Structure 1
């Protein structure tokens, strides 16, 4: 179970500074695509890197200034693209004022060693927030697109935390930027390996598209919890509960065991097997007849997962495109059908959802998001974001790769994370209600100890979950 041990105090060594591009950069407004401008993405992706040996802050600042020449929008500021009259849909749209104002860079120290932090690293807690400088701002628009804090540790190591606006970059884009920055840190006179492509016009919605209803991953209305014929507000329930993070590492043999549950009838990828297993375990853990949030067997639930569409469009997105180039695949199911089937049947739902993601699917999403009333349907959904295949763990600023990398916080959104020095292993991190944590961990780990059983009814694979529980 998660540790509650908090980190020591973090001491800022000096006031934060602004790192501006080292050479002149274009000054203009960068329009965002509908995929960038989703309200669902109006936050910063916060990465934490733990290195055994520190890199001099002046070297990091100098290389960051060079990286911002090519990635100059990250040195700009988000703003409303409207006319400033307070009305109309245009005022809800965002753009980047590429003004070269700079990224925030903070330096700090903490009385802790790398090994001591590693002992606590499996479960993020609120005290980790002190590792990233908080910019006081009245709204998301007031937060610079890039904030960095370097914290020197007692042993000579360092923790590097970054907050990168999700409106500007997705996971692929943030990894591309971090590798470019690290490359310039090790080779100051070199060019970055991949030049960024800035234009978001390549994802403008195309006409004509006829859509009479929202895209399957989005909704324009809030479902009624009291109406048992529609989806329950699981998301609202989760947000109202005390949550604790659950972190479970799946080794390559663990993932192979999951995949073997699907053969010979079905071949699947590691992501499909693990995502399906996590989805089913999550739903099972939330089934609680004693709670007012209890699910019924006919409730509808969804798995939403990010799908990189850079190579799924015709033409493909340009090489180096670092904006949001993903859409959400959507696998819907009834609770009874999901937990009452075997793993292979549930995997087919995920595979079907993935197969739907093509050019028409993306254009449908772009069209749906043109309506600012449309929002990601989180009411009864588990959202999975895959960080384990982005190369994030390979970032090296000159003193070796990270001993640990992960998010700064844990949330109701599920992350598949890389595991340092364990290629192909995946760490699943998600926060669940405290009363459901043991059940979730049991369902996630239980497949290792017991063989697949063909049991009729809602119990599925002999996990003790009965139809009466639903």
Structure 2
């Protein structure tokens, strides 16, 4: 039987929905980009997770308590911090884009030696008012819901969407690289970058590369290999 592409009602939204527009008088002025690095030790990461646990415990009775991963909690914290650092109005919308590895989410999963691109993007949107005023656990819950829907059906639907809309150039740069209210997160946390050895020993320092973009965040493991980042 011939397989036909299908698009579920909410599928392909990352490609079909335009990013929020910047509500700022300086929207046409190229910003001065600043690059910063922050180290979070395991104790600080655990403190963020415990903060979410306490906020979940304080929710109204009858509401299902959620358990969030360290990545989800750190992503929520980073998104909130970015919103607080920007001088933008409360009604400004911000979309958080997260790169998701689809290798283990597809059914059957792709083989360990698969060398192709299996990265999908998920997106969730919130106002700056909510990012700055709502509890951390509320923001993390939105991220958790966004990642949870990235199942086999969703990913295959995204592929079908791209097959039916073959003009891939229009998907490049979903959000603006500059003067953007958005945030993009890539996690290399689980990649053993400090185990790499090309004959000179392990690297002394590893950092994110690639093109410059406002709001781009990369999570990297610490050289101590103790769960810090």
For this structure pair, what is the TM-score category when the shorter chain's length is used for normalisation?
Answer: 0.7 to 0.9
Q: Secondary structure at the match of 1:261?
A: helix
Q: Deviations over 1:151-191 (max 9, x none)?
A: xxxxxxxxxxxxxxxxxxxxxxxxxxxxxxxxxxxxxxxxx
For 1:341, the equivalent position in structure 2 comes to 134
Which of 33, 43, 46 in structure 2 is aligned with 1:256?
46
For 1:272, the equivalent position in structure 2 comes to 72
Q: Secondary structure at the match of 2:112?
A: coil
Instruction: Give the superposition deviation at 1:314.
Output: 1.1
Contact preservation (8 Å) 1:214, 1:374: no
Contact preservation (8 Å) 1:219, 1:377: no
Instruction: Give the superposition deviation at 1:300.
Output: 2.2
Contact preservation (8 Å) 1:406, 1:417: yes
Give the number of the structure whose alpha-carbon radius of gyration is greater: 1
Q: How many residues align?
A: 206
Distance 2:114 2:28 in 1: 35
Matched, 1:405 2:206: yes
Give unpaired runs (5+ residues) of structure 2.
57-65
TM-score, normalised by the number of residues in structure 1 = 0.40
Greater strand fraction, Structure 1 or Structure 2: 1
Distance 1:239 1:272 in 2: 33
Matches within 5 A, 1:28-67: none
For 2:6, the equivalent position in structure 1 comes to 209
For 2:62, the equivalent position in structure 1 comes to none
Distance 2:185 2:213 in 1: 11
Q: Secondary structure at the match of 1:369?
A: helix
Contact preservation (8 Å) 2:92, 2:127: yes
Judging changes above 3 Å, is the alpha-carbon distance between structure 1 residues 212 and 314 closer, same or farther for their aligned structure 2 residues?
Answer: closer
Give unpaired runs (5+ residues) of structure 1.
1-205, 224-229, 289-293, 427-470
Instruction: Give the superposition deviation at 1:298.
Output: 2.7
Which of 211, 214, 222 in structure 2 is aligned with 1:419?
222
Higher RCO, 1 vs 2 (CA within 8 Å, ≥6 residues apart): 2
TM-score, normalised by the number of residues in structure 2 = 0.79
For 2:151, the equivalent position in structure 1 comes to 358
Matched, 1:241 2:34: no
Instruction: Give the superposition deviation at 1:220.
Output: 6.3
